[in-house]
Amino acid sequence: MRFMVEVDAGMEKANAVDGAGGPGPMLAKLAERFKPEAVYGKASRRGAYMVVDLKSPADISELMYALTWGTGGEPKFTPILTESFDEIIGRAKSLVSLHR
């Protein structure tokens, strides 16, 4: 399932990461393991967005722990629809009777 993952770094952890040369090595390891489709740094905060396809709840947990420990923040996982809204709405309508 595809997710948009958002994380903001805690100030103390972000300072430590930046003092040690920046987030590049950690991001490279995450990219190697999870192969995100896209990664965007936030311009207004010390954080990032990534779009990643996670195959199982274990993958979600693994990425959550890595981001939590690596950033000092709490990542937010938002599922991304990859199907057409029309198809989804059609299936939903078949489950209920709509009264107008």
Amino acid at 1: M
* Tens digit of each residue's pLDDT (9 = 90 or more) over 42-75: 999 999 999 999 999 999 999 999 999 999 999 9
pLDDT at 16 (0 to 100): 93
E strands, 9-96, are: 38-41, 47-53, 76-79
Residue 48 near residue 40, CB atoms below 8 Å: yes
CATH topology for the 2-93 domain = Alpha-Beta Plaits (3.30.70)
Half-sphere exposure of 79 (CA within 13 A, CB side): 7
pLDDT of residue 40: 94
pTM (global) more than 0.75: yes
